[in-house]
Structure 1
Amino acid sequence: MPRLDTAGQLAIDVPVQPKKQTRAELQSAIKSARDIMRKDAGLNGDLDRLPQLSWILFLRAFDVCVEQEREAENLDYERAIAKPYDWESWGSTTEFTGDEFLAFVNTELLPYLRGLKSDDEGDPRNVISTIFQEVNNRMLSGTLLRDLVNVVNDISFESSDDIHTMATVYESILKEMRDAAGDSGEFYTPRPVIRFMVEQSFLKLGQSILDPACGTGGFLVEAYDELKELPSSRMELAQLHRNIRGIEKKPLPYLLVMMNLLLHGIDVPNVVRANALLRMREENSPRHRVDVVLTNPPFGGEEEKSVAARFDNAGVATQETAWLFLYSVIERLKPGGRCAIVLPNGSLFGGGVGAKIKAKLMKECNLHTIVRLPQGIFAPYTQIPANLLFFDKTGPTKEIWFYEIPLPEGRRGYSKTKPMHYEEFKNCANWWGSEARESREENNFAWRIQAAEIKAGGYNLDLANPHAGDDLDHRPPVELINDLIKTEEDILCLLSELKASMGEGN
């Protein structure tokens, strides 16, 4: 109803805009949450605390970003999470605490979320159920759990700016999570490497983009950020959301990638929890193929015998994960599709099954570029040298361009406190040129090899830069020792592959 102000004029009510949260405020909230979790006897270290925070944060974000948003758009919308399990019923009720609250979370809330299901493939109930299958509340104090939920409840998701800020803060949490995971033998792709691989893949709207070993979603988020401003309609945006696809085997990274994509604006992420090698083997039909694969598959380990056995009829008798992923990726690409993949040096020079898979790669795809990364790119977790392979499924390889990324001047390697920076790819990106790659020229870091020469050499792709000097008299002793260590590591890799290809007990 119109009203008059104190001067007798018609007053106009202006909606109060919600106060945007700054990054510092969000970081402060996350710090408070972690301080609370440190007091609980059930949580030991960040590998316990960060998943605990993530599933609570997921439910809060899902309530605001999906449930409330869909209710505002559709009055007939039926919530995926019904009362009394929705956030408003237990997350916003601050007096619900102590042993009663703890019992509700453990015996009612989490079992309910695990039991959600729908026959509709795109229903968020199926996503929630999959996420929470192996999620458990590890906190032992109902009072501390209430305090933690209260902190998360106070985090604002009122605007896209808030969500973007929260996503930025969450990525810093994921970095710490990845650092902690590295201590237990898992390591993830550095962000500069991801960004370079996405940019040099020249993504286009309408393409299906898959990471079959997506971890916490670095490649998927970067690909989405590259394309999210291009849709001109809701239909195109929905298609983009469906086209960002992932597969993740382990429950913890699966929870983290779903949370990561949700915070970046994809309300029903198209990520499945499965063994990617089995999944891709079972879905080997044209309708499951994709336009682009961006991935850093696990390497340096062996797959289960039962999984490796599924590849025997393809003549690929190996348990080495990197080889099985490379073979599967080639099969998964559509004609004309493209791939950017991280592989260790062992995959470049390996013979036997490895040579057979590389022959398949060069016969069916145009392996146009191999970017050789500096030593220690995954330091401090592993010193295994890595490479970026770029190929298109457009016909056989005729020649391969190599580009060697040098260490920055004055640097001997990388560490957790001194990681690689994106700027180190600048010269390579300039040399690469456009999508057509027509302006490439040889220089001190770039050279090319004909496919016939690679074939004659037994498909060895571990080729040294011919422009690099190798005057032993003038090379520093530390550099010579590092080369000897690398040679020994390469020999060990070859022996491990030989042992795996022979099988246990032979």
Structure 2
Amino acid sequence: MPARTQQEEALDFPVPTKRKVYRTKSEIASAIKTARDIMRKDAGLNGDLDRLPQLSWLLFLRAFDERVDGLRAIEYDDYMPALDETHQWQAWGANEDFTGDSFLNFVNNDLLPYLRTLEGSGPDDPRNVISSIFQEVNNRMLSGTLLRDLVNIVNSIDFQADDTVHTMAFVYESIMKEMRDAAGDSGEFYTPRPVIKFMVEQSFLKLGESILDPACGTGGFLVEAFDESKPLVTNSTELAQLHSDIRGIEKKPLPYLLCMMNLLLHDVDVPRVVRENALIKMRNETSRQYLVDVVLTNPPFGGEEEKSVADRFPKGIATRETAWLFVYSVIERLKSGGRCAIVLPNGSLFETRSAAKQIKEKLLKECNLHTIVRLPQGVFAPYTQIPANLLFFEKTGPTEETWFYEIPTPVGRRGYTKTKPMRREEFAGCTAWWGGKAREGREDSEHAWKVSSKEIKGRNFNLDLSNPNTANDLAHRPPAELVGDLIKTEKEILGLLEEIEAGLRSSE
């Protein structure tokens, strides 16, 4: 008889049932802290950008066990678990006697390879979700004992308790807070929840509409769109359709994993999210079947794509500036009558060089750019102080006029910080002014003004327009703001000179 593995021997003993269970927010916060303390002891993990992915994939498997396999087994008598018995959480994650080198070997050489090779029988099979997530997931811990200690903490988090309905969201937020803090140094900017909520609400979503975020990150827009639409659902068929209509694309593996976990914790069992370069994917998928009704997104700020990506776009607009490539792709992706809410930095709005100018010209020609909401300084603090704007447009024909609304900075403050972020209430004035779905009754005010498309074209498609209803008293403006305006003006002049130079060279 072949020698039995430690896992098989451990299964001879009952899995301990008397363990601490983390349910309340304070308990879960404590559990996350304990988990991080355990991971700090392991020589294979260096910093939070190593530790947080490690914790995230374990939490995903634990959440999947309870939120998908667990609940489906209760709901359907004939439900077959997505994972075989050996690889289900209860066999290894909940088995505290399975530890040490054998446990480490099982995770590295059995569990993770198994998860990567899962194959479902159809688009709604959760095995497809698991295999896509774990293609690039690796265990980086070197100690089987510390890994067992970490798994024990994860195993003690209660993902099912009816009296702790917000527990899952809090677990997710706890991880995301740490992830945002760690990712700020690597150029990752996460959209604040008040901004997401405002953009989703002003998009006036309806059941049956396909909703895409092509730079979905950790899924903030997708979850908010789902939560906004779910109260409209009246039966299981509509709910299944809503699950299918929420779609995302994410380039990087860790945000992708967190996005899938985020949707899973909101009871979207099989998220329609893919891990690919959205710019390449959207250029390859040009047929009508890929068009969508709504796009909600915050594309990367100030990034540059590889030349091979830019070369996929038409001649003349093959810029490597990521934000404008996303704008172009979104316009192409929308159905006739579709609409978009997108975050863009000030730099993109005043950009007047050839590619940006042509894309803005395309935007105003094919779409109704009806509203630009100008955000105050520091909304994305502490990751960047770059001022940002929210653009709302519909693919319904040319723009005739564009309304601008400037969200004022709170009285007594120059901007926002990590400890004093933007709040949802600060959008209340803009929401009241908006005029509902039909945008009726809009009027000029100290915060709102409109500009004709003719004037925008006359400004060489510069959309970075200052509020004409606010006194521009130079004596009272902060020095940093004055310097920023000077730099912006110099860049505009440089752009015009480069266009003139290009024109002179072409005429020689």
Normalized against structure 1, the TM-score is what?
Answer: 0.90
Query: Retained in 2: the 8 A contact 1:400–1:450?
Result: yes
Other-structure match for 2:332: 331
Q: CA deviation at 1:69?
A: 2.1
Whether 1:425 and 2:427 are equivalent positions in the alignment is yes
One-letter amino acid of the structure 2 residue matched with residue 488 of structure 1: I
Query: Retained in 1: the 8 A contact 2:214–2:248?
Result: yes
Q: CA deviation at 1:429?
A: 1.0
Distance in 2 (CA, whole Å) between partners of 1:23 and 1:494 is 54
Query: Retained in 1: the 8 A contact 2:22–2:157?
Result: no
Whether 1:456 and 2:458 are equivalent positions in the alignment is yes
Q: Where do 1:60-459 residues align within 5 Å?
A: 60-118=62-120, 120-162=122-164, 164-313=166-315, 315-351=316-352, 352-459=354-461
Distance in 1 (CA, whole Å) between partners of 2:491 and 2:374 is 20
Q: Deviations over 1:338-381 (max 9, x none)?
A: 10000111221112111111111111111000001112222232
Query: Retained in 2: the 8 A contact 1:20–1:161?
Result: no
Q: Deviations over 1:369-421 (max 9, x none)?
A: 00011122222322222110000111211110001111111111222112111
Q: CA deviation at 1:20?
A: 9.3
List alignment gaps of at least 5 residues for structure 1: 1-18
Distance in 2 (CA, whole Å) between partners of 1:233 and 1:353 is 47
Distance in 2 (CA, whole Å) between partners of 1:278 and 1:238 is 28
Q: Deviations over 1:225-261 (max 9, x none)?
A: 1112221111111111111111000001101100111
Distance in 2 (CA, whole Å) between partners of 1:138 and 1:240 is 37
One-letter amino acid of the structure 2 residue matched with residue 140 of structure 1: L
Other-structure match for 2:476: 475
Other-structure match for 1:485: 484
Distance in 2 (CA, whole Å) between partners of 1:232 and 1:288 is 27
Q: Secondary structure at the match of 2:332?
A: helix
Q: Secondary structure at the match of 2:136?
A: coil
Q: CA deviation at 1:75?
A: 3.2
Identity %: 68
One-letter amino acid of the structure 2 residue matched with residue 487 of structure 1: L
Distance in 1 (CA, whole Å) between partners of 2:482 and 2:217 is 32
Q: CA deviation at 1:160?
A: 5.0
Q: Deviations over 1:139-167 (max 9, x none)?
A: 11111111111111111122455453221
Other-structure match for 1:53: 55
Distance in 2 (CA, whole Å) between partners of 1:355 and 1:347 is 10
One-letter amino acid of the structure 1 residue matched with residue 148 of structure 2: R
Superposed CA RMSD in Å reads 2.1
Q: CA deviation at 1:119?
A: 5.0
Normalized against structure 2, the TM-score is what?
Answer: 0.90
Q: CA deviation at 1:104?
A: 0.5
Q: Secondary structure at the match of 1:169?
A: helix
Q: CA deviation at 1:114?
A: 0.9
Distance in 2 (CA, whole Å) between partners of 1:202 and 1:481 is 38
Distance in 1 (CA, whole Å) between partners of 2:494 and 2:154 is 50
Change (3 A) 1:360 1:159: same
448-457 or 100-109, which deviates more = 448-457
70-79 or 286-295, which deviates more = 70-79
One-letter amino acid of the structure 2 residue matched with residue 339 of structure 1: C
Q: CA deviation at 1:495?
A: 6.7
One-letter amino acid of the structure 1 residue matched with residue 451 of structure 2: I
Distance in 2 (CA, whole Å) between partners of 1:483 and 1:93 is 63
Q: CA deviation at 1:433?
A: 2.5
Other-structure match for 1:7: none
Q: Secondary structure at the match of 2:85?
A: coil
